[in-house]
Amino acid sequence: MAWTWFHRLASPPHVYGLAARLTPWFGWPAAVLILAGLYGGLVLAPPDYQQGDGFRIIYVHAPSAWMSLMVYVTLAISAAVGLIWRMKIAHAVAASCAPIGASFTLAALVTGSLWGRPMWGTYWEWDPRLTSELILLFLYLGYMALRSAIDDVQRADRASALLAVVGVVNVPIIHYSVLWWNSLHQAPSVMKLAKPEMPAAMLLPLLMMLAGFTLFFVSLLLVRLRGEILRRERTASWIREALTG
Amino acid sequence: MSTSALQAARLVLARDLRLALRKRGQLVQPLAFFAIVTTLFPLSISPELARLREIASGVLWVGALLASLLALEFLFRDDAHDGTLEQYALSGQSLTWLVFAKTTAHWLLTGLPLALMAPLAGVSLGVPYAAVPGIIAPIALGTLVLSLIGAIGAALTLGVRRSGVLLTLLTLPLAMPVLIFGAQATDLAIRGANYAAPLYLLSAMAVLSVTLAPLAASAAVRMSLE
Amino acid sequence: MNDFFHMGGYARFVWPSYALTLAIVVLNIVWARRSLARASEEARRRMPIQSAPP
């Protein structure tokens, strides 16, 4: 009896309807949190004693970087669930994650580079975190490339799911390798981009942005998920009602 | 009188080696590619050995990785075409072991020769003779890991038209740790320093890949055969 | 107000960062909705074939 909610999650029409109903419940709070975070970060937070107003980039860089990693893990977990329990929905979730994660990885790279420029003097310094982000972007692109290269949706689902699982296992290995490589060569990492000393006035907007972006991701996921479900359900009878009702 | 997994694997390994040795011309291709690529660097940078020695490790490693990747496309190709791969999958033998055997054959035919040939290219880039073991051992291990990881990609892209570039795109991000530690080991060797630490890490990666990669690759093969 | 835009001299790094992130947020919204619209359209096109009389 307790597992019916899990079984219902495997039912495409149920999830389709649920996703449609839940989207605004994630979308609007996300907007509120992000706007509040923006105001707090741009206006209310005091300038950093070391980086001046330049540190304010953290309010867009950190959420983007967080998104890039969180979305990849979500992708990998749903891919694994799809492989193990053979749930089409799980594969649909994974497929929905990829474009979102890839675009925010790009955002993280560009904002990180812009943040580094006044601090390092150049737009790119092979900083370990940015280099790891770059490799993560390649992982996303590879995943999306594999998906589009295989015509059969089911085979594409399973093949890309395996790739995602192999990839996520590699992410910590890649991260620590890059960190080690970077420390060896004493890269001019003048600033610890991630962790300046953070009084509450600075930290609170950051937390709001992180939470806001997370909710935003869920709302995007729910929208994309509906499309992915439709694509996988093809001519199932419930679709007629769902689209006309 | 049933064959054990190990026996079956040995048979597949022997078969792959025998088949490859019949087409000796093809075996030379990765080596020729490696030779050409390593020649590109002095031509595009400088003939000064002192300068080349600085980048020699990187050149050797990138060349070896790319040459190894070239041959990866064909790991399962022929067997998939003539139905042998399906026979392997249906045979009731452990597909993991058979895939491991094929991957080992690939490494013996590509990676290992590259590792043995690399010192020649290294010397042309100003590398001292004392550094030769520091070139062979890391590249041998690194190409082994690459073959193992690449086998997963090769299995996933079976049946995809012109999968060569896609295969490279999929495999290289996963191979970057190998490159980092391997090139570091070779670079330390070239400078005459102790390169045990990165070599141990590289060995650890090899052990990890040997245990896990064939599992993933055989799952991928089954997916592609469905 | 001017100080706000000036961002202590870092304006040319801060504002493009915010602009790019905003652009990617908007892009994601548009992209997701278009993806759903396209999938619905395809599903709708497939429907009449089902209800065709035998």
Q: What is the Cα–Cα distance from A43 to B75, expressed in whole angstroms?
A: 59
* Structure confidence by residue, pLDDT tens digits, A33-80: 999 999 988 888 888 777 778 888 999 999 999 999 999 999 999 999
Contact criterion met (CB < 8 Å) for A227 and C7: no
Q: Which residues in chain A touch residue B153, judged by CB atoms under 8 angstroms apart?
A: 163
Interface of B with A in 43-102 (CB under 8 A): none
User: Whose CA is closest to A72, among A39, A45, A94?
Assistant: A94
- Looking at CA atoms only, how far is residue A227 from chain B in angstroms? 25
Q: How far is CA B47 from CA B51, B125, C45, in A?
A: 8, 9, 65
Which residues does B14 contact at the CB level (< 8 Å), separation at least 6? none
Is the pLDDT score of C52 beyond 60? Answer: no
pLDDT bin (cut points 50, 70, 90) of residue C51 is low
Cα(B123)–Cα(B60) distance, integer angstroms: 11
- Asked if C29 and A220 come within 8 Å (Cβ–Cβ), the reply is yes
Average pLDDT, chain C: 84
- pLDDT at res. A236: 74
Test B174 with A155 for CB contact under 8 angstroms: no
pLDDT of the residue at A190 = 39
* Cα–Cα distance for residue pair A122/C10, rounded to 1 Å: 14
Q: Which residues of chain A have pLDDT under 50?
A: 188-193
Q: Cα angle at A105 between A100 and A111, to 5 degrees?
A: 125
Please tell me which residue of chain A has the smallest CA distance to B152.
A163
In this complex, is the C-beta atom of C34 within 8 Å of any C-beta atom belonging to chain A?
no
Q: In chain B, which stretches have pLDDT less than 50?
A: 1
Give the pLDDT score at A1. 52
Would you call C32 an interface residue with chain A, using a CB distance cutoff of 8 Å?
A: yes
φ, ψ (nearest 5 deg) of residue A238: -70, -20
Q: What angle do CA A51, A103, A14 make, to 5 degrees?
A: 125
Distance between CA atoms of residues A60 and A62, nearest Å: 6
State pTM to two decimals: 0.90
Nearest-CA residue of chain A relative to C28? A100
- Give the model's pLDDT for residue A55: 84
The model's pLDDT over B158-213, given as tens digits with 9 standing for 90+, comes to 988 888 899 999 999 999 999 999 999 999 999 999 999 999 999 999 999 999 99
Q: What is the complex's ipTM, to 2 decimals?
A: 0.88
Helix (H, G, I), strand (E, B) or coil at A197: coil
Q: From A166, C36, A182, A70, select the one nearest B149 (Cα to Cα).
A: A166
Asked if the Cβ–Cβ distance from C4 to A110 is below 8 Å, we say: no
Report CB contact under 8 Å: C43, A230: yes
Is A147 within 8 Å of A126 (Cβ atoms)? no
- At residue A187, the pLDDT reads 53
Tell which residue, A22, A59, A80, has the closest CA to residue A215.
Answer: A22
What is the reported pLDDT for A182?
81
Give domain limits for chain A: 41-244
- Residue in A105, A165, B5 with CA at minimum distance from that of residue C28: A105
Given a contact cutoff of 8 angstroms between Cβ atoms, the answer to whether A165 and B217 are in contact is: no
- Using the beta-carbon criterion (under 8 Å), do C13 and A57 form an inter-chain contact? yes
